[in-house]
Each structure stands twice: as C-alpha cells, then as structure tokens.
Amino acid sequence: FSPDDVTVVFVLGGPGAGKGTQCARLVAQHGFTHLSAGDLLRAEQERPGSQFGDLIRSYIKDGLIVPMEVTVQLLENAMTDALRTKPKGRFLIDGFPRKMDQAHRFEEAVCPARLVLFYDCNERVMQERLLERGKTSGRADDNAESIRKRFRTFVETSMPVVDYYDKQGKVVKIDATATPDAVFADTQKRLTEKLG
C-alpha cells in the first residue's frame, strides 16, 4: 500500500497506562483501526505452525522487546488486511514503537507517524492496575516480577522513543492517571486540535 493512503498515530505509554482502553474508545467514536502490537504478538504466539511462538512467549514474560522484524511484519500484514475494506485507513498503532530500531524501520518500510499520543502515568498507579487485571486477564506478564521487568524496559528502552518524537514536535502528552472518561475527554480534545 502507499503511505498516501494511511494516517498513522502511535499510541505510547507505560505498561498499564491505559493505551488499549483509550484506543477502544477512539475506534468506537472516530473510526480508527486499532492495531495493538502486543495483541498481534500474542495472537502470533498462539497461531498453530508459527515459528515464533516460543520466542515471543519468552520475550513477553521477561518484558523484553521481540526482535523488530517479527513485529513490523505483523503490523504491515494487519494494515494491508484492513486496507482491503477501508481504502483510506486511519490507524492507531498501540504499544509500538517501543525501541528506536523499530521506529526507524517502520518509518522506512511503512510510513512516518502523523503524531504520537503519549499516556503519562506513574508506576504506582500502573502496577496497581496491572495486578488487579492480572487476577482475571490470564496474561503471562501480569505478575509482580514481569511487571518490574516491563517497567525497566519502558524506562530504559521505550522512553527514548517518546523523546525522539517529542523533539520532532509530534508528541501529545496526556495525563493518564484520571478516570477513563476524563482521559478520553482530554484525548478527544487534543486529537481534534491536531488532526481536525
């Protein structure tokens, strides 16, 4: 597909900041297509015959970033699929890029992002949310040890990506500690200012 046919918004923020929650609302009200890199990796991990299942499983458990080739390919495939039914696609790419090499590769192979929504939340609140969700989510990384590792990766590896886009003036920073409704109201307001 041609980069002219798509608008890409990256959705970043720490583990449990509320990326998925806000993306679901944006899909419902603004017709975006939501692609969560983590969801795509978890689906690939479960796909019979996948050669990456074991690799993905161990990276996710340790909160590490799966080698970018895998994730970029999954995203490209999902975008191509979505464009079959919607020729001009508006995409929310959730939880990606979270390492600089991914950011560069996506920009070269797919297209640059129009803007980056950054959900800002402190670790205490994020940990509380994730441990609560872990009671029922079945996610292999919603436990205290994996959460600690995810936080470390976020600070060391993923925040530099946010800073990189901030220097380009693309980052819209949103306080993610408020209620989901309040965060969404703020998101809508800021997004409309930027995208129209």
For binding to Mg ion (CB under 5 A), which residues are involved?
19-20
Residue closer to ligand UP5 by CB (options 41, 111) is 41
Answer yes or no whether residue 136 interacts with ligand UP5 by CB under 6 A. Answer: no
Residues 99 and 59 sit within 8 Å (Cβ to Cβ): no
Q: How far is the CB of 87 from ligand UP5 (least distance, A)?
A: 26
| 24 Cβ contact list (under 8 Å, min separation 6) | 34
Please identify, among the stretches 83-91, 93-101, 166-174, 186-194, the one whose residues bind ligand UP5 according to the rule CB under 6 A. Answer: 93-101
Residue 185: how many CB atoms within 10 A of its CB? Answer: 12
How far out from the chain centre does Cα 31 lie? 17
Listed in sequence order, the DSSP H helices in the chain are 19-30, 37-46, 53-61, 68-85, 100-109, 123-137, 144-153, 159-167, 180-195
Which residues, numbered 12-71, are part of the site for ligand UP5 (CB under 6 A)?
13, 15-21, 36-38, 41, 59-60, 63-66, 71
Residues that bind ligand UP5 (CB under 6 A): 13, 15-21, 36-38, 41, 59-60, 63-66, 71, 95-96, 98, 129, 133, 141, 150, 179-180, 183
